[in-house]
């Protein structure tokens, strides 16, 4: 290990090698907690709806991004939607939940005004299209996180519209 002398004091920095383990918890808050609880317990996709301007947010948020109203109305969305954007990740990284290549899509679920980023499976990367109709596939054993939606897959016979 190389140390660099501190020019001002003439001393060298103390370098200690090792691992620092810091337990970490993240509180989701009431909006995300309700979303993930419904997803885990009932495989339902809940969104928040603005009672002032009518915009439906998926994923749900607490405040309308257009008119800044507090969002207290909830609505259940369909599990189907439309691909509005996508990218293909061909490198395998340890943080990926599945083997590469992965197709990440933004899906605007039917009834929503905003999009949800998730994985698309069941289609070759070269066959993905903007406008493709897709359906959520839920994990059998759900744990209360976004990967309770295992992936989206194209609806049979419903390519790009």
Give tens-digit pLDDT for 69-99: 999 999 999 999 999 999 999 998 888 888 8
pLDDT for the residue 9: 65
Percent of residues, the chain, with pLDDT higher than 70? 91
Is the pTM for the entire model greater than 0.85? no
Q: Give buried/exposed letters for 7-35 (b at 16+ CB in 10 A, else e).
A: eeeeeeeeeeeeeeeeeeeeeeeebbeeb
Give the residue with greater pLDDT, 53 vs 20: 53
The 8-class DSSP code of residue 8 comes to: T
pLDDT for the residue 2: 46
Give tens-digit pLDDT for 123-140: 999 999 999 999 999 999
Q: Does residue 54 carry a pLDDT above 80?
A: yes
Please give the structure tokens belonging to residue 73: 């109305």
In the numeric block, the tokens 């009672």 are attached to: 51
pLDDT for the residue 61: 96
């Amino acid at each position: 290990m190389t140390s660099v002398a501190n020019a001002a004091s003439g001393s060298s920095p103390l370098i200690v090698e090792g691992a620092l383990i810091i337990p970490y918890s993240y509180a989701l808050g009431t909006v995300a907690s309700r979303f993930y609880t419904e997803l885990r317990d009932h495989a339902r996709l809940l969104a928040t709806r603005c009672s002032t301007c009518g915009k439906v947010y998926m994923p749900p948020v607490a405040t309308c991004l257009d008119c800044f109203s507090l969002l207290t109305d909830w609505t259940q969305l369909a599990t189907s939607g439309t691909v509005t954007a996508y990218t293909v990740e061909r490198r395998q990284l340890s943080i990926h939940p599945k083997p590469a290549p992965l197709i990440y899509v933004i899906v605007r679920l039917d009834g929503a005004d905003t999009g949800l980023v998730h994985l698309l499976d069941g289609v070759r990367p070269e066959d993905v299209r903007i406008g493709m109709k897709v359906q959520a596939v839920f994990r059998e054993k759900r744990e209360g996180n976004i990967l309770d939606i295992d992936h989206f897959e194209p609806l049979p016979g419903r390519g790009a519209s």
